A and B are shown apart, each in its own frame.
Chain A
Amino acid sequence: MGVIRAEPIRATDWAAKSVGAAWRAFDLQLATYATLLAATGLVMAYTNSVDSIGGGTALEAGTTFTRGLMWAGIAVVFFILATVFDYRWLKTLAWPVYAFQLGLLVLTLAIGDGVGGSARWISVGPFTFQFSELAKILMIVVLANYLASRHGRLDSLRTILGACVLVAPPLALVMLQPDLGTSLVFGAILAGMLWMSGASLRWLAALAAVGIAMVPIAWTYVLRDYQKERLTSFLAADKDLQGAGYQLYQSQIAIGSGGWMGKGLTNGTQAQGDFLPVQTTDFVFAILAEELGFVGAMVLFGLFVLLLWRVLVAGWRSRDPFGTMFAAGLASMILFQLVVNVGMVMGIMPITGIPLPFVTHGGASLVSMAIGLGILQSVNIRQTRAEW
């Protein structure tokens, strides 16, 4: 592997650089869109916490809403820390970061809890944290560093295979949890970053062909029955309304009954009547579409498009290939999760349990996204200094 170029490693330097960073280049738009998306998630948590039948208040301790507020606060802290932190240290620390990532995933497998024998999150006291969310950001860091260091040799098959080799261990560890959704996200990150790195189209095509060829093998030997059932249930959701298709059917009713303007916050009958399971997590978009309607969902899509635009702009502006690659990874991840999550809720994608970035209630996902955006801002404010 390439030699990692070490920047001066002194604590005083780190402080000096962050003070000297070009805060003018801080992308206020990016931060605004992300904040609005996270606020949308909080609003959905609020509407879910209002018990229209029981009459409870959303502001009591322990509701989805109050826990969401707490995680939002933590996410802001991590966003600021990641922004202030000089991202270039990440290049120095790429290998320790990779080891840390693998360590987290192994730890999750060893002591993690989950539903029905799976191991997905680690509980500390009343809090649970899903390390695989953080692992996705760390994966982007590691891949960005690797691809940036091989910048100029991107036509070679070796670079592409190297990237695959880097992704393979964490992907396998996540598959073992088993968490099919997150492992697919790893794949999407890899594909998006290879594409943006300018890797040879020929080799990319070959890689895609191999990937497609792997599908039947994975189907037969890797996937468990319940995973296959979930993957295929969207094809015939109306056939099995009492079983796997129930959630999908109810979520489509929720979305469909929203109409142009929606039923209004806290007024969704599908949500408030609990016809729809896991409302604040993977199926949060169904509640949003029911209560805020087509217009509300379009605003959400708009925010995502704008956010992705700002991420890509950050990547384009970066003079450091690491920045470009990191932005590419982040954009791939957000886009993939958006399409798969919303597609799943609307019945055009398989059920995979992938969260909707920023909006889905869940501390790990939100904090990881905050760290990712923080690193991107760190890239922003440290590139422009040289340019302007």
Chain B
Amino acid sequence: VNTYLDSRVEHGRRLSRFIVFGLVIVLAVGALTARLFYLQVASGTQFAALSTANRTVLEPIPAPRGLIYDRNGRLLVSNVPTFSVKVRPADLPNSQRDAVVERLAALLRADASEIHGTIDANPGSAFDLVRIAQDVDQATANLISEAGFELPGVEVVVEARRSYTDGPLMSHLIGYTGPVAPEQLADLRALGYQPDDLIGKAGVENQYEAELRGIYGAESVERDATGRRTQVLQTVRDAQPGASLTLTIDTQAQKDAERALRWAMKKIGMTRGVVIAMNPQTGEVLAMVSLPTYDNNLFARGISVSDYDKLLQDEDKPLINHAVQAHYAPGSTYKLVTGTGGLADKEISASTRLTTKAYLTLGSTKFYEWNRRGWGPCDIYCGFGHSSDTYFYQVAGMLGADRLGYWANQYGFGELTGIDLPGEVRGIVPTNEWKQNALGAPMFAGETYQAGIGQGYDAVTPLQLINAFAALANGGTLYQPQIVREVVGPDGTVVRPFEPKVLHEMKVKDSVLRVMRNAARETVTLRHTYNLVDMPIKIAGKSGTAEFGTPDAKGRLPYSSFFVGFTPKNPVKGSFNRTDSELVVMAFAHDSRTVGNAATEIVKYFFQLHYDIEKDYRLPELLKRGNFYGND
């Protein structure tokens, strides 16, 4: 293949080979230039956009969550800045994941497999942040941020954490915030929730989530390849802080209620109880204590699995607000319904005397008086004051199950009170229709007797019970109990002022309720409640003892005690003929099994604390565990 050029050999140099080599250089560099032109000039704008997209992301700006105050302006919940460690899975290369997680686990003193699990359980996309740890101390947070390049995809974020001033004292009312559950996320996404977002989980935090949360803003953020924010480019939308709440709760009353309840629980060795105080004129809840309780700050800091399990395993269910989320047989306090119904339906009058005795017989069944004796002929004052079972068996029998149920509904039993707390239960008011639906048979007469004294199928929440007595005290208006008094916007303006909400006016004459109020006063003056009458304030009320559960070896059932009491507006000089009461208090002592009525002692102690009564009227001997069975 000897061409002319090829033959021009001079000192081993062939021009043709040089020319071809030169051509190769030109062609190769030309090809590179063409490719470069295509990348940089022809599709330059497209790549410029990719480069911008690479480093800018739209990130939400969390809105400061609304604060919560008590009725006197005491700060109950605040936001404190804390460090959280988060991972953006898209920025964590698979090849490095094990090493990065291993390193994180060491820094956080956590379990690597748990971190892997958290990342894998991420309900969002790979571009959403996953919270690995919260409330991380500053030193650890610094270590992790400084190791940025060795920990790709890991970010340290300053987040606001809820700080609950009084912790366990208010946990059931305020609740807590926690991470959004994966199954909720689909629905919440539309509302702007992030997979690593916090949401109100219980109490007011949950009930008023929409108000407290505010509206998240958005900003475009430039970041580097490891996901570190390098700068904020632009705030697309400012965050709107959430609204604040003012509760109806009076912290002092709440503390007094808890103190009174804890005192009795400790004395008795009892494990579960409720105290509620309300203003019957408005439905405002001044105090609501359910024990045992839990510390909502544990949840705010990210509760450990073992702590959470402990709360779940506790058989007294500390996570349940027993005031609204559980129902119990109300015992003799329910005689309010029976008495009111009897008078209103004119089955009896205030002066009608019914014979009370050791027991009534219905068929072959004996229905005993609680003291196995009775008081002879008794009017409503005597019957309610002594809490005579045989008196109210007879009234219940006159009314029948359905009329009894009607009057129970009039007092709000069997209906939700509508309190602004989550998870309220309805209770049970046994009527023929109810029993037909539930058990497939109408009410037997004996069951109606039991229903008339708050036993049998009757089930009420402590809140329903106090709300019924509030209606008695205020002259027949059933209010919706409220926990949140006002919603205050971030600029300080009241968005939703307080307004009492009426559920219904009871269809009953004022005179009937006046008789029942004075009958409730008789309970105190007849010393059925021991020395309550000796106190320098006037109290009317009703105690109750309710059996539950299964009998012991001697055939005796465990029992709980109730007391609901109220005072006139002027507690010293006032009269129960009036309907001006501004304070009604109830106590529930679950499984108390004491010689006297434990709940009465709790309410007594609360009144002592609340009205600053210096003399101590408490009777600790009544709180001894005993076999005095059926003290009513």
Contacts and interface: CB of A to CB of B under 8 A. Distances in A.
Interface stretch (A19-27, A210-218, A341-349): A341-349
Contacts of A269: 51, 54-55, 222
Nearest to A334: B25
Contacts of A138: none
A308 B11 contact: no
Contacts of B12: 148, 151-152, 154, 197-198, 321, 324-325
A275 B55 contact: yes
B33 interface: yes
A260 B54 contact: no
Contacts of B93: 242-243, 246
A294 B36 contact: yes
B17 interface: yes
A83 B228 CA distance: 50
Given A201-B1, A255-B36, A275-B224, A260 B17 contact: no
B57 to A, nearest CB: 12
Contact of A256 (B24, B33, B46): B46
Interface in B214-268: 222-226, 228, 230
Interface stretch (A8-16, A126-134, A160-168, A296-304): A296-304
Interface in A340-372: 342-343, 346-348
Interface stretch (B37-45, B155-163, B578-586): B37-45
A189 to B, nearest CB: 13
B13 interface: yes
B24 A294 contact: no
Given A289-B40, A294-B41, A198 B11 contact: no
Given A195-B20, A275-B225, A259 B48 contact: yes
A256 B49 CA distance: 10
A84 interface: no
A254 B40 CA distance: 9
Contacts of B39: 252, 255-256, 289, 346
Contacts of A324: 11-13
Contacts of A297: 36, 40
A115 B225 CA distance: 22
Given A305-B29, A339-B28, A196 B149 contact: no
A181 B25 CA distance: 20
Given A256-B44, A293-B40, A305-B25, A346 B55 contact: no
A320 B13 CA distance: 10
B127 interface: no
B224 A312 contact: no
B12 to A, nearest CB: 4
B1 A202 contact: yes
Given A53-B230, A316-B18, A343 B50 contact: no
A316 B24 contact: no
A196 B36 contact: no
Nearest to B231: A53
Contacts of B22: 309, 312
Nearest to A252: B39
A252 B47 contact: yes
A384 to B, nearest CB: 14
Contacts of A305: 25-26, 29
Nearest to B11: A319
Nearest to A150: B12
A270 B47 CA distance: 11
B306 interface: no
A130 to B, nearest CB: 25
Interface in A19-66: 53
Given A289-B36, A297-B36, A242 B46 contact: no
Interface in B59-115: 93-95
A57 to B, nearest CB: 19
A273 interface: yes
B32 interface: yes
Contacts of A255: 36, 39-40, 47
A196 B54 contact: no
Contacts of A335: 24-25, 28
A312 B51 contact: no
Contacts of B21: 192, 195-196, 312, 328, 331
A273 B33 CA distance: 27
A270 B40 contact: no
Contacts of A253: 47, 50-51, 54
Contact of B35 (A148, A196, A304, A348): A348
A256 B29 contact: no
B121 interface: no
B94 to A, nearest CB: 6
Interface in A77-126: none
Interface string B447-472: 00000000000000000000000000
B230 to A, nearest CB: 6
B14 interface: yes
Nearest to A194: B17
Given A53-B230, A195-B17, A316-B13, A274 B40 contact: no
B362 interface: no
Nearest to B32: A342
B553 interface: no
B615 to A, nearest CB: 72
A257 interface: yes
Contact of A301 (B11, B33, B225): B33
A101 to B, nearest CB: 24
11 contacts: A53-B224, A148-B12, A195-B21, A196-B14, A257-B50, A258-B44, A293-B40, A308-B25, A312-B22, A318-B11, A339-B29
Interface of A: 53, 148, 151-152, 154, 192, 195-198, 201-202, 242-243, 246, 250, 252-260, 269-270, 272-276, 289, 293-294, 297-298, 301, 304-305, 308-309, 312, 315-316, 318-321, 324-325, 328, 331, 335, 338-339, 342-343, 346-348
Nearest 6 A/B pairs, CB to CB: A256-B47, A257-B51, A273-B224, A321-B12, A275-B225, A257-B48
Interface of B: 1, 6, 9, 11-14, 17-18, 20-22, 24-26, 28-29, 31-33, 35-37, 39-41, 43-48, 50-52, 54-55, 93-95, 149, 222-226, 228, 230
Given A256-B43, A298-B33, 12 more contacts: A192-B21, A195-B17, A195-B21, A198-B17, A256-B46, A269-B51, A269-B222, A315-B13, A316-B18, A318-B11, A339-B29, A343-B35
